[in-house]
Amino acid sequence: QVQLVESGGGLVQAGGFLRLSCAASGFIFSSYSMGWFRQAPGKERERVASIAWNGWNTYYADSVKGRFTISRDNAKNTVYLQMNSLKPEDTAVYYCARGSTYGSGNVLTPNDWGQGTQVTVSS
């Protein structure tokens, strides 16, 4: 079965950085677009970044452009989210999601979710 396991969350001061990882199994990782979403308390889950199955196209929410970078290593079945210049408003639970087969990454409809990892940014 599909498994997505996030790691790398934690507590960091504003201006700091974190790198999230999502280890995938149970499907042909290299054939699927992947994405990162986040959900803050009292807010809806929102897409932060996504990446095409081959890594050629990426999408970023306006709120993270220039600060976050999504990447993938198909040999390791892992997708990453490098988060720099973190702000208190980035505080949320971050979820990894599997997209569609040969998806472009520009549009991503999540089909499976990880359990989430907490990111807390203190001011």
pLDDT of residue 36: 98
pLDDT value at 107 more than 90: no
For 69, the token pair is: 């970078």
Token output for 98: 């599997």
pLDDT tens string 50-94: 999 999 999 999 999 999 999 999 999 999 999 999 999 999 999
Residue 2's pLDDT is 96
Mean per-residue pLDDT over the chain, rounded:
96
Q: Are 64 and 82 in contact (CB under 8 A)?
A: no
Kindly tell me the burial class for residue 19, based on how many C-beta atoms sit within 10 Å of its own C-beta (0-12, 13-18, 19 or more). middle
